[in-house]
């Protein structure tokens, strides 16, 4: 059932390469403070996952056609993964800038890649209207609070 809601990317490799060349260069990204300490906004994948997912409200920003945020995923055992990432609404791709580890951020920004189920939920329900990002941070926060 989950696969039914996802449309395949019908672009050729050449089209993807050209889109990447024409896309505006991404500005250097400053990482938010670690550890996340602001208001956590929970969202759910329903019965598809027993993990709990949160976005830290203070980390949320909308710039350059991207929505950036700190994502926290908690397992049923309480183990959590913290990442700082961006979602590109125009094609649903996701980029992880850093991973929370040992009380700070580590790693280098990764490549843009296809979304996972929780990214598709964020895209559909909170961050994107069709293929465009919400206008600003307040619109995204409002979607969570509704």
Residue 5 belongs to a domain: no
What was the pLDDT predicted at 1?
Answer: 44
- The reply to whether omega before 35 is within 30° of 0 (cis) is yes
What was the pLDDT predicted at 16?
Answer: 67
Residue 106 belongs to a domain: yes
CA dist 93 and 99 (Å) reads 18
What's the pTM value of the predicted model, to 2 decimals? 0.80
Summarised one tens digit per residue, pLDDT across range 22-58 is 554 556 788 998 877 889 999 999 998 999 999 999 9
35: CB partners within 8 A, 6+ apart: 82, 100, 103
Summarised one tens digit per residue, pLDDT across range 61-111 is 999 889 999 999 999 999 999 999 999 999 999 999 999 998 899 999 999
Residue 13 belongs to a domain: no
What was the pLDDT predicted at 25?
Answer: 54
11 vs 13: which has the higher pLDDT? 13
The neighbour count for residue 17, using CB atoms within 10 Å, is: 11
Residue 8 belongs to a domain: no
Residue 86 belongs to a domain: yes
Residue 1 belongs to a domain: no
Q: What's the number of domains the chain is made of?
A: 1
Could you tell me the two tokens for 107? 């790693």
- Residue range(s) defining the domain that contains residue 99: 30-145
Confidence of residue 129 (pLDDT cuts 50, 70, 90): confident
CA dist 4 and 55 (Å) reads 26
Residue 7 belongs to a domain: no
Residue 47 belongs to a domain: yes
């Amino acid at each position: 059932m989950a696969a039914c809601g996802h449309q395949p990317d019908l672009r050729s490799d050449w089209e993807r390469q050209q889109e990447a060349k024409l896309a505006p260069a991404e500005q250097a990204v400053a990482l938010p403070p670690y550890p996340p300490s602001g208001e956590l906004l929970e969202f759910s994948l329903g019965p598809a996952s027993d993990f709990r997912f949160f976005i830290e409200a203070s980390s949320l920003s909308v710039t350059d056609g991207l929505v950036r945020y700190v994502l926290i995923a908690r397992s049923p055992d309480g183990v959590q993964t913290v990442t700082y990432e961006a979602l590109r609404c125009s094609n649903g791709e996701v980029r992880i800038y850093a991973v929370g580890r040992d009380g700070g951020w580590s790693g280098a920004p990764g490549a843009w890649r296809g979304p996972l189920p929780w990214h598709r939920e964020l895209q559909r329900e909170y961050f994107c209207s069709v293929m465009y990002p919400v206008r600003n941070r307040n619109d995204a926060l409002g979607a969570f609070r509704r």
